[in-house]
């Protein structure tokens, strides 16, 4: 197993198999340490892809309790298939388009914005990359956002008055473990409609500014996931997205989400 830092991203190559108990436990510790550090992410190269996702699920289970709720209802398994499902994508149970089922670019977001206690760890394991090398993974660190946003903009995002499925929420907040973010612009707008809780013009302009920062290539890291690559992220400090796929792409990722035990820290809490 090699641990190295390449293009700003901590990487582990040739991880052990779960049967190699001592090496596996050391690997799990390294992964946990990386996602709970200032890096907030790690790329594991050469994690075997198997038909039942055993290795990914074993890694997830070693990091915290995996629940089926982490997978979308169309796939009652621990690992959810992220793939293009039709030309215009498919809707979820609320009728909201599942963006990952389209070949469109997917702006930076955190997963599970809409629910009260989002998973703090997200892993995406690449089974098959896009055939033309499209669909680059984008990561954006909350630490960089906090440096670019102005204090009054951050104050707006800290207010507990953004719409979600469970009521109002803050987008940025401080916990005992540091500063955290939850954000998905499409879901904010969707629940503003569904809850009849329109955004104020001030909120809208701060979110527009946030979106334009997230689109700026200066601070984000971008890389292509190859077969058997698995990226693991702290969903409280790292926003993720992907660039557009080739039309009709056969790219396939397996995604798991979980509540790490103990919970991951926010910025400044490591």
Ligand X SMILES: O=C(O)CCC(=O)C(=O)O
Q: Which residues sit at the interface with ligand X, rule CB under 6 A?
A: 82, 100, 106, 111, 137, 240, 242, 253, 255
- Residue 106's binding partner out of ligand X, Fe ion, none, with CB under 5 to 8 Å set by partner kind: ligand X
Q: Which is nearer to ligand X, 37 or 243 (CB)?
A: 243
Q: Which is nearer to ligand X, 124 or 180 (CB)?
A: 124
Whole-number minimum distance, CB 101 to ligand X, in Å? 9
* Terminal Cα-to-Cα distance of the chain (whole angstroms): 25
Out of 111, 130, 187, 229, name the contact with Fe ion by CB under 5 A.
Answer: 111
Whole-number minimum distance, CB 157 to ligand X, in Å? 21
Q: Are 103 and 173 in contact (CB under 8 A)?
A: no
Q: Rounded CA gap, 252 and 44, in Å?
A: 17
Whole-number minimum distance, CB 174 to ligand X, in Å? 25
Strand 80-82 with 252-258, pairing: antiparallel
Q: Rounded CA gap, 35 and 253, in Å?
A: 19
DSSP 143-170: HHHHHHS-HHHHHHHHSS-EEETTEEE-
Q: Rounded CA gap, 110 and 184, in Å?
A: 6
Q: Which is nearer to Fe ion, 257 or 265 (CB)?
A: 257
Q: Which is nearer to ligand X, 24 or 106 (CB)?
A: 106
DSSP H helices, the chain, are 21-35, 54-63, 142-148, 151-158, 185-194, 201-215
Class of residue 9 by CB neighbours under 10 A (exposed 0-12, middle 13-18, buried 19+): middle
Whole-number minimum distance, CB 147 to ligand X, in Å? 24
Whole-number minimum distance, CB 196 to ligand X, in Å? 27
| Number of residues near Fe ion (by CB under 5 A) | 1
- Residue 255's binding partner out of ligand X, Fe ion, none, with CB under 5 to 8 Å set by partner kind: ligand X
Of 62-70, 75-83, 106-114, 209-217: span binding Fe ion (CB under 5 A):
106-114
For residue 182, which phi and psi values (nearest 5 degrees)?
-135, 130
Of 44-52, 107-115, 156-164, 215-223: span binding Fe ion (CB under 5 A):
107-115
Q: Which is nearer to Fe ion, 111 or 120 (CB)?
A: 111
122-149 burial code (b ≥16 CB/10 A, e <16): bbbbbbebbeeebbbbbbbbbbbbbeeb
Q: Which is nearer to ligand X, 137 or 179 (CB)?
A: 137
- Residue 182's binding partner out of Fe ion, ligand X, none, with CB under 5 to 8 Å set by partner kind: none
Q: Which is nearer to ligand X, 182 or 242 (CB)?
A: 242
Residues in the site for Fe ion, rule: CB under 5 A? 111
């Amino acid at each position: 197993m090699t641990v190295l830092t390449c293009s700003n991203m901590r990487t582990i190559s040739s991880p052990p198999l779960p049967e190699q108990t001592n090496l596996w436990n050391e690997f799990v510790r390294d992964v946990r340490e990386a996602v709970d550090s200032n890096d907030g992410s790690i790329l594991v190269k050469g994690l075997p892809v198997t038909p039942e996702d055993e290795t990914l699920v074993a890694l997830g289970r070693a990091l915290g309790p995996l629940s089926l709720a982490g997978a979308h209802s169309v796939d009652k398994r621990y690992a959810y298939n992220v793939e293009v499902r039709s030309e215009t994508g498919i809707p979820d149970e609320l009728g909201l388009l599942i963006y990952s089922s389209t070949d469109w670019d997917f702006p930076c977001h955190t997963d599970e914005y809409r629910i009260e206690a989002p998973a703090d760890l997200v892993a995406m394991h690449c089974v098959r990359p896009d055939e033309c090398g499209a669909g680059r993974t984008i990561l954006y660190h909350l630490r960089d956002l906090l440096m670019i946003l102005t204090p009054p903009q951050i104050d707006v995002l800290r207010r507990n008055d953004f719409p979600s499925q469970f009521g109002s929420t803050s987008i940025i907040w401080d916990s005992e473990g540091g500063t955290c973010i939850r954000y998905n612009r499409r879901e904010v707008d969707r629940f503003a409609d569904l809850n009849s809780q329109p955004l104020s013009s001030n909120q809208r302009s701060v979110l527009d500014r946030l979106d334009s920062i997230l689109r700026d290539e200066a601070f984000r890291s971008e890389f292509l996931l190859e077969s058997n690559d698995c990226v693991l992220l702290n969903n409280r400090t790292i926003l993720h997205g992907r660039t557009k796929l080739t039309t009709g792409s056969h790219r396939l990722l397996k995604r798991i989400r979980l509540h790490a035990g103990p919970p991951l820290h926010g910025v400044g809490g490591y």
